[in-house]
Amino acid sequence: MRLKLTSFLTIALSLGGAHIASAADMPVKAPMAAVWSWTGFYIGGNVGYGWGNGDLSLVPGPGWAAFGNPATDPGYLVANGSPNLKLRGALGGAQVGYNFQLNNFVLGAEADFSFAGIDGGRTTGFIAPPPGALIDNRAFNESDRLQWLATFRGRLGYAAQSFLIYATGGLAVGRHEFSQTIFNAGNFNTNAGSVNTTKTGWTVGGGVEAKLAGNWTAKAEYLYVDLGSVSVFSDSNTAPGFGLTVNTSSKLTANILRAGLNYHF
């Protein structure tokens, strides 16, 4: 009886060892990598460069024709006081947003704020009026600046795993500062005015975003921004009330190209 039990245990141990050895020789499957999802909140920062236009439009008051030469004087002011100022400068700030991914499509919303130094201006020498004009030589000085910019946009994109391409658009809000001074060669009848105000407008653009290490992504984005117009009204400093007024508007549009980093929660 003892011999039979010993033989049984020997056979069992042999079979168990063979099974363990066979299992050890089997290849081990690597764990599957997690699929990246764009769904969720994110926060990040950006830096960029902007260029655009301050498109000026001057409207002279009735006094320039009544007290001067109506055939030349108002036209002289319009022609020389309505330039297109070229605006240039850097900007940088932060953004926060949320994405929802459905299959390959990504729907999201993003808000951002950037401090900006996108500005331009000009200072002319004294410009002679045309023959027959009664107006004196005048010099023109204008300054236009976008001080800060915020946008509130929707995003619609297409994702290919960890790469996203998207279109975006929505509300733009910015601080627009504009001034104009028209100097008289005889140091009288100078017109000067300025405005510094918050304007609302719209923006549209697009971009690409790609996954980096961990929960970080990098993006490159283009936006076109239209903040509408601001106006500056000024009267002559030595002849107020005689209609020697100037009302000049500046329409600000800008192109924004920027890069950013986002952390996804």
Question: Chain-centre distance of CA 52, in angstroms?
Answer: 11
CA 89, CA 52: separation in Å to the nearest integer?
A: 9
Distance between CA 216 and CA 211 in Å, rounded? 6
Residue with tokens 């239209």: 226
CA dihedral 178, 45, 223, 85 (to 10 degrees): 30
pLDDT digits (tens, 9 = 90+) for 112-127: 999 999 999 999 999 9
For residues 235-264, give the mean pLDDT: 95
Q: What is the pLDDT of residue 227?
A: 98
59 against 7, higher pLDDT: 59
- Per-residue pLDDT at 27 exceeds 80: no
pLDDT > 90? residue 249: yes
**pLDDT band, residue 21 (cuts 50/70/90):** very low
The residue-averaged pLDDT of 90-112 equals 97
- Which tens digit of pLDDT belongs to each residue from 144-161? 999 999 999 999 999 998
In 3-state terms, what secondary structure has residue 9? helix
Stated pTM of the model: 0.84
So where are the chain's domains? 45-264
Q: Tell whether the model's pLDDT for residue 2 goes beyond 50.
A: no
Contact 248, 235 (CB under 8 A): no
CA distance 38 to 97: 11
Which secondary structure element, helix H or strand E, spans residue 101, and what is its range? Answer: strand 84-102
